[in-house]
């Protein structure tokens, strides 16, 4: 869900302009950044038969990441800390909808959230795009609308338009 994570970050940034853009965007992707590190280290195997990402993507882990990463911005004040934490937390519902495996409540926990059947979303629908592709578009467009609405008095329209095109381009590519 690269595009949706980015769109969520832009919407949160527009709602809290004092938050550093890089912090919001890193926050929105933080579980994925950790996953890349853990996967490279062999801690979170990526093969379909042994796939595990509970350290980077369990509910408890994402909450801890949100609190810790948000706290790093305490000198900016509570609203910015909350915005950065929310950017991290936004990863949770988005990945719960589209993810190779359901998200564990904590690492190696049996209780999970999300669909157990990954193939459900891979079914091709209109334009030969998958159900997940359409689902992500249906989530990304309203997030971009929030971004447009909240940022149109703060940013030049060409910046808003270009960043929205980057998000939509990412969605088309991935
Ligand atoms: Zn993720």
Domain boundaries, the chain: 2-173
- Residues 96/116, Cβ–Cβ less than 8 Å: no
Q: How far is the CA of 160 from the centre of ligand 1 (A)?
A: 25
What number of other Cβ atoms are within 10 A of residue 25's Cβ? 18
pTM recorded for the entire structure:
0.91
CB-based neighbours (< 5 A) of ligand 1, an ion? 31-32, 95
- Residues 73/80, Cβ–Cβ less than 8 Å: yes
Q: How far apart are CA 155 and CA 162, in angstroms?
A: 11
Segments of the chain with pLDDT less than 50:
none
| Residue 117 DSSP SS3 | coil
């Amino acid at each position: 869900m690269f595009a949706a994570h980015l769109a969520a970050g832009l919407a949160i940034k527009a709602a809290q302009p004092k938050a550093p853009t890089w912090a919001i965007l890193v926050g929105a992707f933080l579980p994925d950044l950790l996953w890349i590190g853990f996967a490279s280290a062999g801690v979170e195997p990526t093969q379909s038969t042994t796939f595990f990402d509970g350290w980077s993507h369990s509910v408890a882990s994402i909450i801890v990441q949100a609190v810790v990463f948000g706290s790093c911005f305490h000198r900016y004040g509570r609203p910015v800390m909350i915005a950065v934490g929310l950017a991290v937390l936004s990863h949770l519902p988005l990945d719960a909808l589209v993810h190779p495996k359901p998200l564990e409540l904590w690492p190696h926990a049996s209780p999970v959230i999300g669909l157990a059947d990954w193939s459900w979303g891979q079914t091709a629908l209109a334009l030969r795009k998958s159900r997940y592709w359409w689902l992500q578009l249906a989530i990304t467009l309203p997030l971009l609308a929030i971004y447009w609405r909240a940022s149109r008095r703060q940013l030049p329209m060409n910046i808003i338009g270009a960043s929205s095109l980057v998000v939509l381009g990412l969605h088309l590519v991935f």
